[in-house]
Structure 1
């Protein structure tokens, strides 16, 4: 399968990325492993998840998808063959969306532990909180990149104004830049 560069990152990906929000919600662990096995056997290599998946399901608190993916990666021993994208910023019990430095620095360690990996290939701001200065969020990502916990950063669900402010802060302050933007726009939902 032909791989493509993902945004302005160093990530090489197949043209389809698997969205892992179904793991631990509509698919149990065994079914998730079967889907992931079939996905990589077809030549695909990038999985997208979030720390909040699937907190909305009865009995879940968030992190279920990352946990299943982590078990699968460890069991299959193919970490070097798969790109992992995960996200931070959703309300996962703290009572609000949160992209503060304090929250990000804790959340990344929780995600790494659940995923059973040393480094996240692409870490996305899942939701904006409109309270945290963009410089604080990007500064937290700088710490994670420097520590080797994150390779690249991106954003999802940011307003155009906050995305623009983030890109300007990156340039002006020498902070990491969102190299990928993941808007909610697809063939089904064209208003995102």
Structure 2
């Protein structure tokens, strides 16, 4: 499978990024191991998590990193995977925090849970909008020089603070972000395409969209309020049960039928056809769902398909 080079780094990843927020939440450790094994056996190598997953269960998080760490140790396959994790998210113990103190503490905690000696890609998960940008970059500079982190990336950071970070990195020789993880999918386009796509172009950022399937809405599983009880995430898609959402599902159904595929595969293939997109972040809780995900990189949408999906999702 053709790999994608992440920005200006030397990291190469397959075009699907497995979202580890399900580990320790909707999947226990044994189930997580089974999914991770199947993911890697399928030729994929990019695993995404965060220090706070799944904080909503215990207020602190760490479950996902712990499960991934146990899997890496037991399987002995650290050299086969690219590991991304994050810092800065809010929990019941603390608010958003990307201060130097918090980063230096958190990186060691993540390394301990993951049972590895370095993190390949370390994200600013959420900006606290108060720590000076230079302080955050100086903290990253320290952990990179210590060999604890290879490259840094950004997720929920404003365009203004991102732009400031690149200016400081160039001016003061500090680390620069090589990737961006925004909220982007067929039903959530405007913010990314207006505010962040120009930055991805300007700063050579590889983009890894999170909620790539809109919390499952783009799988076609939820088509009425009666369907919302099908999973623990059902409530999160209620906002998409509107005329625009239904038109997007109709377009997905049409394109999927044409290619003998599924709405989920088509949704991911649409993302992969967009500029700068490297590997959508997507989770699975069964091997059947994994097969749907695996089909996306091989699904090549033509101009007619893309136009149909664009027309439905741009309204």
- TM tier, smaller: over 0.9
| Per-residue Cα deviation, 1:90-117 (whole angstroms, up to 9, x for no partner) | 1234431000000000000000000000
**Contact residue 144 and residue 150 of structure 2 kept, 8 A:** yes
Gap regions ≥5 residues in structure 2: 192-315
Distance 1:27 1:191 in 2: 32
Counterpart check, 1:185 vs 2:213:
no
TM-score normalised by length of structure 2? 0.59
**Contact residue 122 and residue 151 of structure 2 kept, 8 A:** yes
| Per-residue Cα deviation, 1:20-78 (whole angstroms, up to 9, x for no partner) | 00001111101100000000000000100000101012x45201000000000001000
Query: Whose radius of gyration is greater, 1 or 2?
Result: 2
Which residue of 2 is the match for residue 85 of structure 1? 84
Which residue of 1 is the match for residue 48 of structure 2? 48
Task: Please identify runs of 4+ aligned residues in structure 1 that moved more than 6 A.
Answer: none
Counterpart check, 1:105 vs 2:104:
yes
> Aligned Cα RMSD in Å?
1.1
Counterpart check, 1:122 vs 2:95:
no
Higher helix share: 2
Q: What are the equivalent positions in structure 2 for 1:20-169 lying under 5 Å apart?
A: 20-57=20-57, 59=58, 61-169=60-168
Distance 1:135 1:67 in 2: 31
Distance 2:156 2:39 in 1: 26
Distance 1:141 1:55 in 2: 24
- 1:4 positional shift: 1.4
Distance 2:76 2:68 in 1: 12
**Contact residue 59 and residue 93 of structure 2 kept, 8 A:** no
